[in-house]
Amino acid sequence: MLMSMFKNGNEEGYGAESNGVEDTLIGNSIKIEGDLVSNGSINVEGEVVGSLKTEKQLRVGEKAKVVADVKAQEAFIAGVIQGNITVGGRLELASTARVTGDLQAAVLSIAAGAIFNGKATMQETSGGGFIENKAEEADEE
Amino acid sequence: MYYYVYDTFLSDKKYEKVLDKIKVTLLDLDIQGKHERLTLLKSIDELIKDEVKRGINTIVILGNDKTLLRVIDTVGRHNITLGMIPIGPDNSIAECLGIPTEEAACEIIAARKIVQLDLGKANDQYFLSSLKVDKNINRVSIHKDNYRIVPQPNCVEFDIYNLYYPEGVENYEKQMKKFSPQDDKLELVIRKNETKKTWFKKKTGINPIDSIIQSKLFKIKSFEYLPVVLDGYKVIKTPVIVELAPCKLKMIVGKDRLKYIQ
C-alpha cells in the first residue's frame, strides 16, 4: 500500500527533473553518524546514528537500524528504530518493525507482529483524517 | 576561431584517411582553424592556455572519452566552448551528447548547439565525470553538512559522479537520469562487494549501487594520504573537498543527445 509511494531509489527520483530535491539511498555498506537532513525522500537499508529529518517520505528497510529521532512527512518502517518518530502524515509500521520510542502521526498503521514500546500520539488532520484514524485503530483491534 | 587538438593515438597511420576526410569537411563547412597534434612532449594544458591568450574561444578535440576528460581541467579555468570530433573506440560521452563519430561530427560543430554542463571541483582540479576511491576504504570518512558517512567492511569502492557514462549498459537513458550533469548536484555512490553463489562455484561481482547521496559538497578525509582518481586519469591525495564548480562547461552537442541533457 504505502510501499508503492516509496519508489526504489535505484530507479526514480534522481536527476534534473528533481528540481533541487536531494533523494538519499543509504545501503548496508555505510553508516551515517550525525544529523541527516534532506529535502527529498530517504530510503534507509543501513545504519543511522544521530537524527533523521526529511520533508518527504522516509522508508526504513527490514535490515536497517536507526538510533535517532526521526521526523518525516510520511514513513514506512520495517526495521529497527530507537528514538522518537514524528510524522506529519501517515506512519506505517510493518510486521518486522521494532520501535522503541514515542510515535506521533496523523495516520497510524501497525501491522500484526510489529513490536512497539512507547507512547503513540495522534493528531486530527484536516480533510477527514480523523475518520481514517478511527478506521485504522479498528483494524488493529 | 577554432582550435583543433588531435590526440596522440591519431598519429597512427590507420587514422590518416579519416583525418583527411574531416579536414575536407571542416573546409566545406567553413569552420577552419588552427590544427595541433599532441605529442608526448607537448602538454595539452600549456597549448590550450597559449591559444586562449591568443583569442581562441572554441576548442575542438579529436579523440575519445579520455581526450575529452584530459582537457576539462584547463577548459574549466577559461571561459571557452568545447567541441568534440569522436574518433575510434571508447566514445561513450560523445554518444551521450549526441555527437556522431568522425566527419559526421563536423556538422555538429558547425551547427554549434551549446549546452551548459555542471563541472565538479576536487580541491583545485576540475572534473567532468567522476572521482573514485577504491583503496583502503575503511580508512576513509566522507563528510556532508552535519553528518559523516562511514564505509562499512563490505564497502569496496565509492565514486562521486557529475556525468555518468556507463559503458555497455543498455538503459543509458535511465542511468543518466540519476546522474544528470545538469542537476546542480553531485552524486556520491557507494558500492559493496557482492558474492553470488552458483551451483558449482562462488561468483564474486560488484554490486552496481548500494547507496546514493546527493549534495553540492563532500569532504573526503582519511587517517593517511590515500589516492583519489579524477576522471580516470589524474590522481590526487586526501583530504579532498569535492564540490560543484561555480562555473559551467559550455559544450557543443548534437540533437540526438540524451533527453536529460537540455
pLDDT digits (tens, 9 = 90+) for A96-128: 999 999 999 999 999 999 999 999 998 765 544
d(CA B95, CA B109) in angstroms, rounded, equals 15
Q: Which three cell numbers stand for residue A80?
A: 529497527
Residue of B nearest to A13 (CA): B178
CB of B228 within 8 A of CB of B130? no
Write the class of the CATH domain B125-245: mainly beta
Query: What's the confidence (pLDDT) of residue B22?
Result: 92
Chain A residues whose CB is inside 8 A of the B191 CB are: 29
Residue B89 has pLDDT above 80, yes or no: yes
Query: What's the confidence (pLDDT) of residue A92?
Result: 95
User: Is residue B257 very low, low, confident or very high in pLDDT (cuts 50, 70, 90)?
Assistant: confident
Write the class of the CATH domain B2-112: alpha beta
B171 CB within 8 Å of a chain A CB: no
CB of A35 within 8 A of CB of A53? yes
* Residues in A lying within 8 Å of B, measured between beta carbons: 9-11, 14-18, 20, 22-37, 40, 46-47, 50
**Nearest-CB residue to B260 (from A15, A25, A30):** A15
Q: What value does the mean pLDDT take over residues B112-141?
A: 91
Nearest one of B119, B120, B105, B115 to B63, comparing CA atoms: B105
Beta strands in chain B (DSSP E): 2-6, 33-37, 58-63, 81-86, 114-117, 120-122, 125-127, 130-133, 140-144, 147-151, 155-161, 186-197, 202-206, 211-215, 217-222, 227-230, 234-237, 240-244, 249-252
pTM recorded for the entire structure? 0.83
pLDDT tens digits for range B171-217: 556 656 677 888 888 999 988 876 655 555 555 555 568 889 989 99
Helical (H) or strand (E) element with B173? helix B172-178
Query: What's the confidence (pLDDT) of residue A86?
Result: 95
- Burial status of residue A100 (CB atoms within 10 A of its CB: 0-12, 13-18, 19 or more): middle
d(CA B155, CA B209) in angstroms, rounded, equals 11
B206 CB within 8 Å of a chain A CB: no
Query: What's the confidence (pLDDT) of residue A4?
Result: 41
Strand order in the sheet with B33-37: B33-37, B2-6, B58-63, B81-86, B249-252, B114-117
CA B261, distance to chain mean position in Å, is 15
Subunit contact B177:A14, Cβ cutoff 8 A: yes
Chain A residues whose CB is inside 8 A of the B179 CB are: 14-15
User: Is residue A93 very low, low, confident or very high in pLDDT (cuts 50, 70, 90)?
Assistant: very high
Subunit contact B214:A46, Cβ cutoff 8 A: no
Helical (H) or strand (E) element with A103? strand A103-105
Query: What's the confidence (pLDDT) of residue B120?
Result: 94
Chain B residues whose CB is inside 8 A of the A17 CB are: 177, 260
Helical (H) or strand (E) element with B177? helix B172-178
| Shortest Cα distance, chain A CAs vs residue B201, angstroms | 24
Query: What's the confidence (pLDDT) of residue B260?
Result: 74
B192-209 residues labelled b (16+ CB within 10 A) or e (exposed): beeeeeeeeeeeeeebeb
| Shortest Cα distance, chain A CAs vs residue B254, angstroms | 19
Residue A4: how many CA atoms within 13 Å on its side-chain side? 1
pLDDT tens digits for range B71-83: 999 898 888 999 9
Instruction: Tell me the average pLDDT of chain B.
Output: 86
Q: What value does the mean pLDDT take over residues B108-130?
A: 93
Q: Which three cell numbers stand for residue B195?
A: 558474492
Q: Alpha-carbon torsion B85, B89, B93, B99, what sign?
A: positive
Higher pLDDT: B228 or A13? It is B228
Subunit contact B209:A14, Cβ cutoff 8 A: no
Terminal CA-CA length for chain A:
20
Query: What's the confidence (pLDDT) of residue B258?
Result: 78
Beta bridge partner(s), residue A115: A98
Nearest one of A48, A84, A15 to B146, comparing CA atoms: A48
What residues does each domain of chain B span? 2-112, 125-245
Q: What is the percent of chain B where pLDDT is above 70?
A: 89
B120-135 residues labelled b (16+ CB within 10 A) or e (exposed): bbbeebbbbbbbbbee
* Phi-psi domain of B88 (left: phi exceeds 0; alpha: psi -120 through 50; beta: other): left
Lookup result for grid cell 569522436:
B86
Q: How many CB pairs below 8 Å do chains A and B form together? A: 96
Subunit contact B192:A9, Cβ cutoff 8 A: no
Chain A residues whose CB is inside 8 A of the B211 CB are: 25-27, 29-30, 46
d(CA B131, CA A69) in angstroms, rounded, equals 33
**Nearest-CB residue to B149 (from A10, A30, A35):** A30
Q: Which three cell numbers stand for residue B167?
A: 559503458
Subunit contact B148:A10, Cβ cutoff 8 A: no
Residue of A nearest to B151 (CA): A30
Here the ipTM equals: 0.79
**Nearest-CB residue to B150 (from A15, A25, A33):** A33
Chain A residues whose CB is inside 8 A of the B182 CB are: 16
Subunit contact B147:A33, Cβ cutoff 8 A: yes
